[in-house]
Amino acid sequence: MTIGFDILARDGAARLGRLTTAHGVIETPVFMPVGTAATVKAMTPDAVALTGARLVLGNTYHLMLRPGAERIAALGGLHRFMNWPHAILTDSGGFQVMSLAALRKITEEGVAFRSHLDGSRYLLTPERSVEIQRLLGSDITMAFDECTPFPAERGQVEESMELSMRWAERSRAAFEPRPGQGIFGIVQGGVHPDLRERSAARLVGIGFEGYALGGLAIGEGQQTTFAMVEATVPYLPQDRPHYLMGVGKPSDIVGAVRRGVDMFDCVLPTRSGRTGQAFTRAGTLNLRNARHADDPAPLDAQCRCPACTGFSRAYLHHLTKAGEILGSMLLTTHNLTYYADLTADLRAAIREGRVAEFELAGDAR
Residue 361 burial (10 A CB sphere; 0-12, 13-18, 19+): exposed
d(CA 271, CA 38): 16
CA atoms within 13 A on the CB side of 302: 9
SS3 27: strand
Is 363 assigned a catalytic role?
no
Element (H, E) at 28: strand 24-28
Q: Exactly one of 11, 145, 265, 300 is catalytic; which is it? A: 265
Beta strand spans in 80-147 (E): 87-91, 104-106, 111-114, 121-124, 140-142
Residues pairing with 242 in the sheet: 211
148 and 165 in contact (C-beta within 8 Å)? no
Alpha-carbon distance values, 161 to 33, 128, 168 (Å): 27, 20, 10
Q: Exactly one of 91, 252, 262, 341 is catalytic; which is it? A: 91
d(CA 169, CA 174): 9
Listed in sequence order, the DSSP H helices in the chain are: 45-50, 60-65, 69-74, 78-81, 94-99, 126-136, 154-174, 193-206, 222-232, 250-258, 268-274, 306-310, 313-322, 325-352
Is 118 assigned a catalytic role?
no
Give buried/exposed letters for 171-195 (b at 16+ CB in 10 A, else e): bbebbeebeebbbbbbbbbbbbeeb
22 and 256 in contact (C-beta within 8 Å)? no
Active site residues: 91, 265
